[in-house]
Chains A and B, each alone.
Chain A
Amino acid sequence: MDYSLVVAIELLREVAGLILIATGLAIVFGMMRVINIAHGEFIMLGGYTVVLTTKQGVNIWIAILILAPLVVGIFGVVVERLIIRHLYGRIIDSLLATWGLSLFLIGFITVVFGNTVEGVTTPFAAVAIGQYRVSIYTLFLIFAAMAVIASVYLTLRHTKAGLIARATMQNPDMVETLGINSKLVYMATFGVGAAFAGLAGGLLAPISGVVPSMGALLIGKAFITVVTGGTAVVAGTLAASSILGSISQSVTFMFGPVFGDATLLFVALILLRLLPQGITGRIFTRSV
C-alpha cells in the first residue's frame, strides 16, 4: 500500500518534470511557431540564477520563484528584440538561429562562471510514508507544475491579456486593426515563455547538477513532449506530459531506466502516428 503511494508520487513527479520543462517551449512554439532550440539553455540560465544568487545570500525561495523567471524572462525579451523578431514566419531559420544562440550561451556561461559552480540543496526535508521516505521537494515540484499549468490556463482563458495573446496568434493583422501592437504581444509572449523556462531551471536546480550543459539533457524531451502535445498550449502539454511521463516512469519501475527511457520515445512515436497533428490536433482541438 505504501509502495503504491510512493509509485504514484513518482509518476506524478515525472509528469510534473515534463510539464515544467515543456510549458515554456509550448508557449513559444504553440503560439508563435518559433522553434527555440535554446530553450534548454534558458532552463540552464534559470538554474544558474538560483545558484549564483543564493551564494550571495538571497533566500532560496525568492531565487527560485521570483528571480529565476524574472531574469530569464527579461533575457528572453532581449533575445526576442535582437534575434527572434526577424524570424517570424521563418520557422526553419529560427531553428538555425536558436541553435547558434544555444551554443553561444553554453560557451558564455562557461567563460564567465566556469564550468563548476557550487550548487544548492533542497530547502525541505523528507517525509516518511510507511517504510519509505519521499522528499517533500518532490511533492513541491508536483504542486508547482500544477500551479504553472493552472496559471497559464487561467491567463489564456480568463484574462484580457490572454485573449489578446490568443487573438494575435490567430490573426495579427486583424488585431492590429483593432489597435493592438502585435509586436509588443510577440515580445511579451516570448518573454513569458522564457520566464517559464527560467522557472523550470530554478525549480530543478536543487535536485540536479547545475552545469552549462544541463539544458542539453532536457531539450530533447521537452521538444518531443511539446510536439506530441500538439498546438494547444495547455491541453497539449498536459496530455502529452501525462501520457509520456506516467507510462515511461511505470516501465522504469518495472524494468529499469534504460527501458523506461526507450518507452517514452516509443510511446511518442505511436502517439504521433495515430494523431499526426499531435494529441490536440485531433482531441480537444478547440481548447487552449
Chain B
Amino acid sequence: MLRNLPKDWLGAGFVVVLGLAILIFVPVYFDLFEVLQMTKYVVLALFVLSLAYIWGFGGILSFGQAGFFGLGGYIFAVSSINMGQTTLPFLIAIGLCVVFAAALGYFMFYGRLNDVYLGVVTLVVTLILYKLINHTAGPEYIIGTARLGGFNGIPSIPIMTLPWQPDQEMEPAQMFQYFMAILIVVYVLLHILIKSKFGRVAISIRENEVRSSLLGYDVRLYKLCIFMIGGAIGGGAGAMWASYQTFVDPNIFSLEWSAKCLIWVIAGGVGTLIGPIIGVIALEYLSFQLGQTDFINNLIVLGTILILVVLLMPKGLFPTFRDIFLKLWRRGGGQGGGQGDGGRLG
C-alpha cells in the first residue's frame, strides 16, 4: 500500500514524522541552552518558508519578506505591551500583515510588476519601513504604552503565554514545542495547498504566466492570494521572533535580512519547502560556529562557502543531497522523485 502513495507524499510524511520526533524528544535530551538555540532555528525556518512558498510555488520573487517579518515583530511587540497578553496580539500581527500584503500586493500585481522589478519594489518598501522606524527614537513616537524606540528597538517584549492563558508564560521547552508544532502544521498546510487546485494553478502561473492567463485564470488574483499567504506566514514568524528574543529592532527591516532570506532559499533549493529550511539552519549554524573561532576572518569563510555552494551544488543544498541519496538508493529504474515540483526558476 505504501508503494501506491505518491512519492512526494512519502517525502513529506517523512519530514512530518521527523518533525514530530524532534518536537517530542528534543526537550528531553537537550539542555536549556540548546533548546533555546533550536527554537531560534524553528522561527527562522518559518520565516524562510514564507519566501520558499511564494517564490518556489508561486513565482513571486520578493526581496522584502523581511518587511513582513519585521512588521509582525513590531505589531506583536506594540500590541502585547499594550494589551498585557500575547495570544490576541499574535493573531493581530498575522492579521495586519495579511492586510499589508493585500495592499502591497494589489499595488504590485495589478500594476503588472514582474520578476526583478517586483523584487526591487518589495525591497524598496522594506527599506522605507527601515528608515521610518529608525527615525522613531523620540518619546513622541509611542503607540499606547509602547515606545517605538527607533534604532534601539523595543525591549522587554512579553514572552508568549499558553493560548488564552495570560498568566502562564511558556517555559523555553514549551515554547520550542509550540513553535515546532506551528512549523509542522504550516508545512503540512502548505503541502496540501500546493497539491490542491489552487496550488496547481499557482505553479502554472509560475511556469508561464501568459499561458495561464490565456486559459482564463486571473493571474493577478492568484498572485495576490499567494502573496497574502506569504505575508501571513512571515508576519507570524516575526511575532514569534519578537517574543523569543523579547526584543525587536529596526535592523530586522534591513537590506541584510532581506538578502539573507533570499540566500537561505537559494542555497537550500528553490522549488522545495524543506530545502530552504535546511539552508537557513546550515548557514546560521555556520555563522554561529565561525564566530567562536579566531582562525580566519569569518566573512572570508562564509563568502567562499556560498560561492562553492553555487558552483558545485547548482540546484541548492537539499535537491543536490536528495538526488545523491536517491541515486544511491535507486531500485532498478527509479528516478529522483521527492516532494514538491523540482522546477527551478531561471
Say if A and B assemble together. Answer: yes
Residues of chain A having any CB pair with chain B under 8 Å: 35, 37, 83, 86-87, 89-93, 95-97, 99-108, 110-111, 219-220, 223-224, 227-228, 258, 261-262, 265-266, 268-269, 272-274, 276-278
A93 with B266: CB separation less than 8 A:
yes
Which of B113-121, B162-170, B218-226 participates in binding chain A? B113-121
Contact of A93 among B297, B299, B314 (CB under 8 A): B314
Give the Cβ gap from B257 to chain A, nearest Cβ, in Å: 13
Task: Determine if B270 is an interface residue (Cβ-Cβ < 8 Å).
Answer: yes
A96 with B266: CB separation less than 8 A:
yes
Give the Cβ gap from B312 to chain A, nearest Cβ, in Å: 10
Residues of chain B having any CB pair with chain A under 8 Å: 61, 107-108, 111-114, 116-117, 120-121, 123-125, 127-128, 131-132, 135, 255, 259, 262-263, 266-267, 270, 296-307, 309-311, 314, 344-346
A111-B297, A219-B255 known; 4 new pairs, CB 8 Å cut-off, are: A103-B306, A107-B299, A272-B113, A272-B121
CB-nearest residue of chain A to B260: A99
CB-nearest residue of chain A to B55: A92
Query: What are 5 A-B pairs at a CB distance below 8 A?
Result: A86-B311, A90-B346, A92-B266, A266-B128, A272-B121
With a CB–CB cut-off of 8 A, which chain B residues contact A99? 259, 263, 306
A90 with B314: CB separation less than 8 A:
yes
Contact of A277 among B117, B131, B267 (CB under 8 A): B117
Q: Considering the chains assembled together, what is the distance between the CA atoms of A26 and B296 in angstroms? A: 34
Closest 3 interchain pairs by CB?
A100-B306, A104-B303, A107-B299
A96 with B314: CB separation less than 8 A:
no
With a CB–CB cut-off of 8 A, which chain B residues contact A258? 131, 135
With a CB–CB cut-off of 8 A, which chain B residues contact A277? 117
With a CB–CB cut-off of 8 A, which chain B residues contact A37? 259
B303 with A265: CB separation less than 8 A:
no
CB-nearest residue of chain B to A111: B297
Contact of B345 among A92, A101, A273 (CB under 8 A): A92
With a CB–CB cut-off of 8 A, which chain A residues contact B262? 95-96
Q: Considering the chains assembled together, what is the distance between the CA atoms of A279 and B288 in angstroms? A: 43
With a CB–CB cut-off of 8 A, which chain A residues contact B306? 96-97, 99-100, 103
B111 with A96: CB separation less than 8 A:
no
The answer to whether residues A96 and B299 also contact, given A273-B107, A276-B112 and a CB cut-off of 8 A, is: no
Q: Considering the chains assembled together, what is the distance between the CA atoms of A35 and B112 in angstroms? A: 22
With a CB–CB cut-off of 8 A, which chain A residues contact B304? 100, 104
B117 with A104: CB separation less than 8 A:
no
The answer to whether residues A268 and B124 also contact, given A92-B270, A106-B299, A227-B117 and a CB cut-off of 8 A, is: yes
With a CB–CB cut-off of 8 A, which chain A residues contact B266? 92-93, 95-96
With a CB–CB cut-off of 8 A, which chain A residues contact B270? 92
Q: Considering the chains assembled together, what is the distance between the CA atoms of A171 and B58 in angstroms? A: 29
B123 with A104: CB separation less than 8 A:
no
Q: Considering the chains assembled together, what is the distance between the CA atoms of A219 and B270 in angstroms? A: 25
Q: Considering the chains assembled together, what is the distance between the CA atoms of A137 and B135 in angstroms? A: 32
Q: Considering the chains assembled together, what is the distance between the CA atoms of A35 and B266 in angstroms? A: 14
Give the Cβ gap from B260 to chain A, nearest Cβ, in Å: 9
Q: Considering the chains assembled together, what is the distance between the CA atoms of A108 and B132 in angstroms? A: 33
With a CB–CB cut-off of 8 A, which chain A residues contact B132? 262
The answer to whether residues A100 and B135 also contact, given A273-B113, A276-B111 and a CB cut-off of 8 A, is: no
Give the Cβ gap from B131 to chain A, nearest Cβ, in Å: 5
Q: Considering the chains assembled together, what is the distance between the CA atoms of A272 and B63 in angstroms? A: 15
CB-nearest residue of chain A to B302: A103
With a CB–CB cut-off of 8 A, which chain B residues contact A276? 111-114, 117
B114 with A97: CB separation less than 8 A:
no
CB-nearest residue of chain A to B119: A227
With a CB–CB cut-off of 8 A, which chain B residues contact A110? 297, 299
CB-nearest residue of chain A to B306: A100
Give the Cβ gap from A21 to chain B, nearest Cβ, in Å: 15
B131 with A265: CB separation less than 8 A:
yes
A97 with B111: CB separation less than 8 A:
no
Give the Cβ gap from A69 to chain B, nearest Cβ, in Å: 24
Q: Considering the chains assembled together, what is the distance between the CA atoms of A220 and B63 in angstroms? A: 12
A103 with B299: CB separation less than 8 A:
yes
With a CB–CB cut-off of 8 A, which chain A residues contact B135? 258
Q: Considering the chains assembled together, what is the distance between the CA atoms of A227 and B309 in angstroms? A: 27
B128 with A83: CB separation less than 8 A:
no
Q: Considering the chains assembled together, what is the distance between the CA atoms of A101 and B309 in angstroms? A: 12
B300 with A104: CB separation less than 8 A:
yes
Q: Considering the chains assembled together, what is the distance between the CA atoms of A262 and B135 in angstroms? A: 11
The answer to whether residues A100 and B307 also contact, given A107-B298, A262-B128 and a CB cut-off of 8 A, is: yes
The answer to whether residues A101 and B120 also contact, given A107-B297, A107-B298, A269-B125 and a CB cut-off of 8 A, is: no
B123 with A224: CB separation less than 8 A:
yes
A265 with B127: CB separation less than 8 A:
yes
Give the Cβ gap from B108 to chain A, nearest Cβ, in Å: 8
Give the Cβ gap from B48 to chain A, nearest Cβ, in Å: 14
CB-nearest residue of chain A to B112: A276
Q: Considering the chains assembled together, what is the distance between the CA atoms of A272 and B300 in angstroms? A: 36
B127 with A273: CB separation less than 8 A:
no
CB-nearest residue of chain A to B305: A100
